[in-house]
């Protein structure tokens, strides 16, 4: 069974073992790794050139919906107050819509924070972090801070998380991270597989189910398992279908004792009221999710049709991103696309010829198609110099976060 582990030198490991608690207690000193940090590392110059097509960070080109923008404008003048009751009201709106108790929900400025804190709280040098390959990398960066072994398990042939292999690979697991739909593949892991993992996991471990992209897919949420008091935390964000990546709002949903354990690492901080107001308004808009899901599906499927017609291989996705096999070194393709002002997503080392593409608007995807065709038919020339000045490449960008390269 092909299972990859993050290499760690013995001396570094023992240092981490000694300092894990101290490191966890001072996490303010470590940056949380997010998607934009990874995304921009691959290609992006700052600032982006005019008219650039940005399909590199799994953002939503539609941005916040109209009522969310009105809510931001309406609340901005109250920004001098902490306004905690607004966060309480937002939680009540979400909890009531999902049929869950409000004490099972905590709001954060995005879901990157609770992802990071959950890994710190439930992994350690003795409790490993188990994730998919290729998968969203942020949790593995947090695991380095807790000193946990990182166990990467390849996806199945249908690109689901291989829950049996994950169990077999880590009898010492502290956290099983399941991202469904998965970033970067946009593929699903079934509810029954999540139930199987819950039923068979080591006693003190938890599942961290990341549903950042769930609204784009025909998928069953794991929230019913939270309601059933199982050992899992579900993450939701307003950064994707709700188009609020820059406004910052997300939830961790789990049994209060699990949230409390995680909360020991996050501390308590006020939410930005602009984000809270926009999120509450978005949740009350009954057309937002179905309409945006329809738009995304339509554009994605049209893109797939074009790719198939032109004999390009891709992983069929249910999300707002997909993996495209260029059958050439991904870095070369990313650079050649950027030279045409089309910024596509990064590569995962385990799939060195695949690039991740975010689904943009239809006009953006048409520009992507033209540029990609030119690159693949070698009528576009790759740049001779690096896209990013050397000093800036000391950082790694996930989609949304910048971390020092030394933490990669
Ligand atoms: N989880 C996944 C799978 C993501 O792709 C991202 C961002 O792209 C996040 C979590 C974090 O998003 P945010 O902090 O914007 O909520």
Domains of the chain and CATH, by start: 32-58+288-382+391-407 (3.90.1150.10), 64-283 (3.40.640.10)
pLDDT at res. 391: 52
Q: Does the CB atom of residue 183 touch ligand 1 within 6 A?
A: yes
The pTM is what?
A: 0.88
Look at residue 7 in the predicted model and tell me its pLDDT.
Answer: 33
pLDDT of residue 277: 98
Ligand 1 binding pocket mutation candidate from 106, 113, 237, 241 (most atoms within 8 A of CB): 237
Point out the residues of the chain with pLDDT beneath 50: 1-29, 384-386, 390, 408
pLDDT the model gives residue 320: 98
Q: What angle do CA 6, 131, 166 make, to 5 degrees?
A: 100
Report the DSSP pairing between strands 342-344 and 53-55: parallel
Segment 113-131, tens digit of pLDDT: 999 999 999 999 999 999 9
Beta carbon of 321 within 6 Å of any ligand 1 atom: no
- pLDDT at site 378: 82
Residue of 400, 402, 403 with the most ligand 1 atoms within 8 Å of its CB, for mutation = 400
What is the structure's pLDDT at 37? 65
Which tens digits make up the pLDDT trace of 230-279?
999 999 999 999 999 999 999 999 999 999 999 999 988 899 999 999 99
Q: Cα of 76 to ligand 1 centre, how many Å? A: 25
Is 58 touching ligand 1 by the criterion CB < 6 Å? Answer: yes
Give residue 268's pLDDT.
Answer: 82
Task: Tell how far the Cα of 398 is from the centroid of ligand 1, in angstroms.
Answer: 9
| Inter-residue contact 136 to 184 (CB < 8 Å) | yes
Our answer on whether the CB atom of 115 is closer than 6 Å to any ligand 1 atom is: yes
Q: What residue owns the CA closest to ligand 1's atom 2?
A: 212
Which ligand 1 atom lies nearest to the CA of residue 39?
8
Strands 313-314 and 232-237, by their bridges, are unpaired
- Would you say the CB of residue 237 lies under 6 angstroms from ligand 1? yes
DSSP string, 368-405: HHHHHHHHHTT-SPPPSS-SS-GGGGGEEEEBTEEEEG
Would you say 55 and 345 are in contact if contact means Cβ atoms under 8 Å apart?
yes
pLDDT of 13: 39
Cα of 212 from ligand 1 centre, angstroms: 6
| Ligand 1 atom at minimal distance to the Cα of residue 245 | 15
pLDDT at residue 303 in the model: 98
pLDDT value at residue 267:
83
């Amino acid at each position: 069974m092909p299972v990859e582990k993050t290499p760690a030198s013995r001396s570094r490991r023992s240092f981490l073992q000694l300092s894990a608690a101290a490191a966890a207690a001072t996490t303010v000193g470590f940056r949380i790794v997010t998607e934009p940090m990874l995304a921009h590392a691959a290609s992006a110059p700052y600032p982006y050139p005019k008219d650039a097509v940005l399909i590199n960070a799994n953002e939503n080109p539609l941005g916040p919906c109209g009522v969310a923008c009105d809510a931001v404008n309406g609340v901005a003048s109250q920004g001098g107050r902490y306004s905690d009751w607004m966060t309480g009201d937002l939680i009540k709106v979400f909890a009531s819509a999902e049929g869950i108790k409000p004490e099972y929900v905590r709001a954060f400025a995005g879901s990157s924070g609770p992802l990071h804190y959950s890994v710190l709280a439930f992994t350690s040098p003795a409790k490993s972090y188990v994730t998919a390959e290729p998968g969203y990398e942020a949790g593995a960066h947090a695991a380095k801070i807790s000193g946990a072994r990182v166990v990467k398990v390849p996806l199945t042939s249908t690109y689901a998380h291989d829950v049996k292999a994950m169990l077999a690979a880590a009898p010492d697991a502290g956290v099983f991270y399941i991202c469904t739909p998965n970033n970067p593949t946009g593929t699903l892991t079934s509810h029954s597989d999540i139930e199987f993992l819950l039923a068979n996991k080591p006693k003190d471990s938890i599942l961290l189910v990341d549903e950042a992209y769930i609204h784009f897919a025909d998928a069953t949420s794991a929230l019913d398992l939270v309601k059933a008091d199982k050992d899992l935390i579900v993450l939701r964000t307003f950064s994707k279908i709700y188009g609020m990546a820059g406004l910052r709002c997300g939830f961790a949903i789990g049994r209060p004792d699990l949230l409390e354990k995680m909360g020991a690492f996050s501390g308590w901080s006020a939410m930005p009221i602009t984000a809270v107001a926009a999120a509450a308004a978005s949740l009350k808009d009954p057309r937002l999710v179905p309409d945006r899901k329809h738009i995304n599906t339509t554009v994605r499927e049209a893109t797939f049709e074009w790719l198939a017609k032109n004999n390009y291989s891709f992983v069929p996705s249910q999300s707002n991103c997909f993996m495209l096999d260029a059958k050439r070194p991904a870095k070369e393709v990313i650079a050649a696309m950027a030279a045409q002002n089309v910024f596509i997503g990064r590569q995962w080392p385990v799939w060195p010829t695949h690039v991740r593409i975010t689904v943009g608007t239809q006009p953006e995807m048409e520009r992507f198609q033209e540029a990609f065709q030119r690159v693949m038919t070698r009528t576009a020339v790759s740049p001779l110099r690096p896209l990013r000045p050397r000093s800036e490449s000391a950082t790694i960008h996930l989609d949304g976060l910048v971390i020092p390269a030394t933490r990669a």
